[in-house]
Structure 1
Amino acid sequence: MHPDVRSFFEGYVAAYNRSLGDAVDATAIRSHFAEHFLGAGPNEVSLGNNDGSFTETLEQGYAFYRSIGTRRMRLRDVAVTPIDDAHVMVRVFYGADYARPESGEPLTIDFDVTYILQLREAGPVIIAFIAGDEMALYEKYGLKPAGQPSGSPDPARAT
């Protein structure tokens, strides 16, 4: 395993958790992404730019996560597959803790996301990620707000 990969995602999870508070740590989250990146879900493929519009998307995404009771994200494990000297594929296993919005009842959901990282001299950056149907998962556990479409609430979904 490239020695920086686990710590890279530990930093990402820490920024995610800070962003569930009063203010999104957009600077820290954006530092994990390349200038341009690809996000894919079951029904869409999005191209993202690591610019001001990404910050706005992060603000909207974390407002949504807070609204469904997201309390914290945990990094359970990482599985790294080398592609070449400059790229790795990383399957990241997460656990997310929620408090159901209506009852406050705790809930934990485990899931994974696959990332393609480019290994730069300054450190790795996300150039692509592939995620499952986040909204279907929330619906399964009774967290999905009525009328919310399937897919991901934002192209920077780190969950």
Structure 2
Amino acid sequence: MDETVRKLFERYESFFERSLAGDFDKEEPGKLYASEFIEASPAGVMAGKNDETFLQAMVQVYRTYRDIGTQSIRIRGLRLSPIDDLHCVAHVSWTATYVRDDLPETAIDFDVHYLVQILDGDAKVFGWVSGDETALLKQHGVL
């Protein structure tokens, strides 16, 4: 399980980096995310589908990240909590770096907890739990 999930997040990190650079691959979310997913954050709980609406939302999110100066995002740590043979929680520690003319280079650490399912040797995210991204960005002067 460990190696399969680690490879998933290596692909996830790479996809994020390419998308920040404006190279959004519409095929990749189908490889990273399950057909349906849940999200929980201080904004509430949302259920969604990995469909065209989700793809368009992702394109907009990456555009917004670029607009606020997101330069890169890197995995700083990954710890797994197995649930059973097919499921785990992947606790991912990220570092995002922001660069703008009006802001010194700023690195922000944060964690996201992903629900992962492995079927036929293929790991996909089917949910995630995150903190208050807006508050964190405001705290560091990015917003």
- Fold similarity call, TM over 0.5: yes
CA distance in 1: counterparts of 2:9 and 2:77, whole angstroms: 10
CA distance in 1: counterparts of 2:78 and 2:108, whole angstroms: 17
Give 1:22-61 correspondences, 5 Å limit: 22-61=22-61
Give 1:1-159 correspondences, 5 Å limit: 2-99=2-99, 101-144=100-143
Tell me the CA shift for residue 108 of structure 1.
Answer: 0.5
Tell me the CA shift for residue 48 of structure 1.
Answer: 1.4
Tell me the CA shift for residue 26 of structure 1.
Answer: 3.0
Name whichever structure is richer in helix by fraction. Answer: 2
Tell me the CA shift for residue 78 of structure 1.
Answer: 0.6
Unaligned runs of 5+ in 1: 145-159
CA distance in 1: counterparts of 2:92 and 2:74, whole angstroms: 10
Contact 1:76 1:95 in 2 (8 A): yes
Tell me the amino acid that sits aligned with residue 118 of structure 1.
Q
Tell me the CA shift for residue 24 of structure 1.
Answer: 1.8
CA distance in 2: counterparts of 1:128 and 1:25, whole angstroms: 21
Tell me the CA shift for residue 21 of structure 1.
Answer: 1.4
CA gap of 1:71–1:29, structure 2 versus 1, over 3 A, is farther
Tell me the CA shift for residue 5 of structure 1.
Answer: 1.2
How big is each residue's C-alpha offset from its partner over 1:88-143, in whole Å with a ceiling of 9 and x where there is no partner? 111001111110x3425211001110011011114111111000000001111111
Tell me the CA shift for residue 2 of structure 1.
Answer: 2.3
Runs of 4+ with >3 A deviation: none
Name whichever structure is richer in strand by fraction. Answer: 2
CA distance in 1: counterparts of 2:41 and 2:26, whole angstroms: 22
Unaligned runs of 5+ in 2: none
